[in-house]
Structure 1
């Protein structure tokens, strides 16, 4: 496991020194020790620790939970934290759980318990970052245009029309021609609300404003009119389950 920067929030001087010694023995560095919210948040924002150890009770109050809430609601960065406490009552645990800690250690705990908790925290953080990255990539097209990559959120696409081995993507940012057949585009769009309306065209269902059943025309939110073919008409209309 790589070396981590750890912030310790603890009001018991002896306990904080013991944790610092254990963390150092594990190969980690303590980037700061605080015993109140102001100092803790200051170190957190300045040092950007990899993980935070928080004692629930600080100077006779459950200020550790309030600090965790501040960290959890931070819009700038979120780091995993572990609660440490001598309290074992259910109400305290439920309060702590609501802030989504990565672990909960009750005092006294040994070095091995702390080491395992930190390893799990790091693993969960890495898995979360990977999942977020995969999710972001799955919901976005990056389309090459000249020497630029243009970000196009998939749900901003109005419709896609094929031209041979190329596909035209019509979206809020304009029109983009990509060298990808419609079949492969459809594979990228699995799980999104796109439906085929002709052999060469798929449309984003959320962009449909009106359907002209006489002319077989789909009218989008931006008033673009697209023709659907009879072969795909029934399947397309089934998506809306129209009231009669």
Structure 2
């Protein structure tokens, strides 16, 4: 996720930059003035804007938020020193994803950024509750957002080759990486499109479009050069599904 920071107080700008960097997000720019902010927004196409309300120059953060939203809907988190009802009401008109009062709590900032990302991709209330409950993956439209340390990593559903289970964990296998989730295979299966994914073993689900060959003697499936076990009770369903393609 690309983050634009707009803050005219050097100390807070440095602090925000440090926090966002530690969370693992890409900072496109750090600016403190309205026209600079507009140029940075138009040039860098940020996914999220951290925006101070009281800025140097003629434009306030609220003015910038209106300008940003008029050009391209982008999640905005206001960060301000003013705990003022009138300012809050004006800021609320721009539909920000959060409104944080300085000095802000780093954990609050992290949670606000995560939820802003999720809401942008259209998750429902249940998805947000999953994140609050410590789940490691949230499905948003055609992708999973998987929590790794202090950031959310986007994995396109189409890039998942197969899913396996080890102990109490499910593992999403892509061409170049494995993602470990604290969810059961059943929970993951419920979030996958059953027209694309099929269970081939009590501990494996495969992306049917990635199947290279099936060994009906050894009961194995080749996916991206790897062998995935095929359960005998799942064979007929798999063969039938392949014939339907």
| Superposition TM-score, scaled by structure 1 size | 0.49
